[in-house]
Structure 1
Amino acid sequence: MTLGNIISTFVAYATYVLIPYIVLVIAYRVTLHPLATYPGPFLAKLTDGYAGLQALARRTHTNIWLNHDKYDIYQNPRVTKSHLYVASRLGGNPSIFSTFDRELHRQKRQVMGQPINDRSMRIFEPTMSQQIDVFLRLLLQGSHSSEPQNMTDRCQRLGFDTVGHLAFGCDLKLQTEEANRVMIRMLTMAKMRSIRALRRGIEASTISTPSWRSTPSRGGIYDGILWPEAIFFMTAGGTPPATTLSALFFYLSRYPECYEKLATEIRTQFSSARDIQGGPTLAACKYLRACIDESLRMAPPSLTTLWREQAADDPERGTAPLVIDGHVVPPGTQFGVNLYALHHNEEYFPDAFTFNPNRWLESEDPSDKQHRAFAPFIVGPRSCAGRAMAYLEVSLAMAKTLWYFNFHRAPGPLGEVGQGTKGVEKGFANVNEFQIRDMFNANHDGPYLVFRPRGDHCNELI
Structure 2
Amino acid sequence: MASPLPFEAGIESLKAAINTTNALRLVGLWVLYHIIVALYNISPLHPLGRFPGPKLAAATVAYEAYFDLIKGGRYSWEIKRMHEKYGPIVRINPFELHCNDPAFIDEIYAAGGRKRNKSPHTLESMSWPISITGFGTADHDLHRIRRLPMGKHFSRQQMLRLEPDIRHTLRKFVNKLLRYGADHPEPFDVAMAYSCFTSDVISEYSFGEPLGLLDQDGWEPNWRVPMYAFLRTTFLFRFFPVVKNLAEVGNIFARKGWMGPDIKMLMDTLLVHIPDRIEKTRADAEAGIVREREAVYLDIFKSTALPESEKTMPRLSGEGMALMNAGTDTSGWAITVMTYHVLSKPAVLARLTAELEEAGLNEDNLSWAALEKLPYLSGVIQEGLRLSYGVSARSPRIPTEEDLVYRGESKGEGKVEYVIPRGWAIGCSAAVMHHNEDVFPDSHTFKPERWFDEQGNKRRDLEKCLLSFSRGSRQCLGMSLAYCEIYLTVALLVLKVFPRMTLFETTEEDVKYDHDMFVPIPKDGTKGVRVVVA
> TM-score, normalization: structure 1?
0.77
Cα distance, 1:375 vs. partner?
3.0
Q: How does 1:289-308 map to 2 (within 5 A)?
A: 289-308=378-397
Q: Residue type matched to 1:261 in 2?
A: R
C-alpha distance in 1 between matches for 2:532 and 2:437: 34
The structure whose residues are more often helix, as a share, is 2
Contact 1:294 1:356 in 2 (8 A): yes
Could you tell me which residue of structure 1 aligns to residue 491 of structure 2? Answer: 399
* 3-state SS in 1 of match to 2:396: strand
* 3-state SS in 1 of match to 2:347: helix
Could you tell me which residue of structure 2 aligns to residue 82 of structure 1? Answer: 119
Q: Residue type matched to 1:158 in 2?
A: F
C-alpha distance in 2 between matches for 1:92 and 1:286: 38
C-alpha distance in 1 between matches for 2:81 and 2:194: 30
Contact 1:79 1:308 in 2 (8 A): yes
* 3-state SS in 2 of match to 1:435: coil
Deviates more, 1:251-260 or 1:395-404: 251-260
1:378 to 2:470 alignment: yes
Could you tell me which residue of structure 1 aligns to residue 212 of structure 2? Answer: 173
C-alpha distance in 1 between matches for 2:353 and 2:437: 29
Contact 2:118 2:397 in 1 (8 A): yes
Cα distance, 1:140 vs. partner?
1.2
Cα distance, 1:217 vs. partner?
8.8
Query: Is the alpha carbon distance of 1:338 and 1:104 closer, same or farther for their aligned partners in structure 2, counting shifts above 3 Å?
Result: same
* 3-state SS in 2 of match to 1:279: helix
Contact 1:172 1:180 in 2 (8 A): no
Deviates more, 1:298-307 or 1:63-72: 63-72
Query: Is the alpha carbon distance of 1:199 and 1:122 closer, same or farther for their aligned partners in structure 2, counting shifts above 3 Å?
Result: same
Q: How many residues align?
A: 415
1:248 to 2:331 alignment: no
Cα distance, 1:407 vs. partner?
5.1
1:362 to 2:453 alignment: yes
Q: Residue type matched to 2:77 in 1?
A: T
What RMSD over aligned residues (CA atoms) do the two structures have, in Å? Answer: 3.5
C-alpha distance in 1 between matches for 2:32 and 2:157: 64
Could you tell me which residue of structure 1 aligns to residue 179 of structure 2? Answer: 141
C-alpha distance in 1 between matches for 2:118 and 2:496: 45
Contact 1:85 1:98 in 2 (8 A): no
Cα distance, 1:264 vs. partner?
2.4
* 3-state SS in 2 of match to 1:347: coil
Larger relative contact order, structure 1 or 2 (CA cutoff 8 Å, min sep 6)? 1
Could you tell me which residue of structure 1 aligns to residue 287 of structure 2? Answer: none
* 3-state SS in 2 of match to 1:353: coil
Deviates more, 1:162-171 or 1:140-149: 140-149
C-alpha distance in 1 between matches for 2:460 and 2:372: 21
> TM-score, normalization: structure 2?
0.67
Contact 1:303 1:440 in 2 (8 A): yes
C-alpha distance in 1 between matches for 2:486 and 2:369: 14
Deviates more, 1:371-380 or 1:156-165: 371-380
Could you tell me which residue of structure 2 aligns to residue 261 of structure 1? Answer: 351
Cα distance, 1:11 vs. partner?
7.1
Query: Is the alpha carbon distance of 1:365 and 1:130 closer, same or farther for their aligned partners in structure 2, counting shifts above 3 Å?
Result: closer
Q: Residue type matched to 1:80 in 2?
A: N
Contact 2:344 2:503 in 1 (8 A): no
* 3-state SS in 2 of match to 1:80: strand
C-alpha distance in 2 between matches for 1:443 and 1:202: 29
1:440 to 2:530 alignment: no
Structure 2 residue corresponding to 1:58, chosen from 73, 83, 88: 73
Cα distance, 1:344 vs. partner?
0.9
Could you tell me which residue of structure 2 aligns to residue 199 of structure 1? Answer: 270
Cα distance, 1:35 vs. partner?
3.2
Contact 2:74 2:516 in 1 (8 A): yes
Structure 2 residue corresponding to 1:221, chosen from 296, 305, 308: 296
Cα distance, 1:287 vs. partner?
0.9
1:410 to 2:503 alignment: yes
C-alpha distance in 1 between matches for 2:157 and 2:34: 59
C-alpha distance in 2 between matches for 1:237 and 1:128: 13
Unaligned 5+ runs, structure 1: 207-215, 421-430, 453-462
C-alpha distance in 1 between matches for 2:434 and 2:215: 35
Cα distance, 1:85 vs. partner?
6.5
C-alpha distance in 2 between matches for 1:41 and 1:259: 45
Query: Is the alpha carbon distance of 1:35 and 1:86 closer, same or farther for their aligned partners in structure 2, counting shifts above 3 Å?
Result: closer
Contact 1:79 1:310 in 2 (8 A): yes
Query: Is the alpha carbon distance of 1:166 and 1:180 closer, same or farther for their aligned partners in structure 2, counting shifts above 3 Å?
Result: farther
Q: Residue type matched to 1:230 in 2?
A: G
C-alpha distance in 1 between matches for 2:54 and 2:34: 19
Contact 2:452 2:459 in 1 (8 A): no
C-alpha distance in 2 between matches for 1:139 and 1:235: 23
Cα distance, 1:346 vs. partner?
0.7
Contact 2:376 2:448 in 1 (8 A): yes
Cα distance, 1:372 vs. partner?
2.5
Cα distance, 1:359 vs. partner?
0.5
Could you tell me which residue of structure 1 aligns to residue 285 of structure 2? Answer: none
Deviates more, 1:178-187 or 1:254-263: 178-187
* 3-state SS in 1 of match to 2:81: helix
Unaligned 5+ runs, structure 2: 1-14, 84-99, 234-243, 252-265, 278-290, 302-310, 408-416
Structure 2 residue corresponding to 1:156, chosen from 195, 205, 216: 195
Q: Residue type matched to 1:199 in 2?
A: L
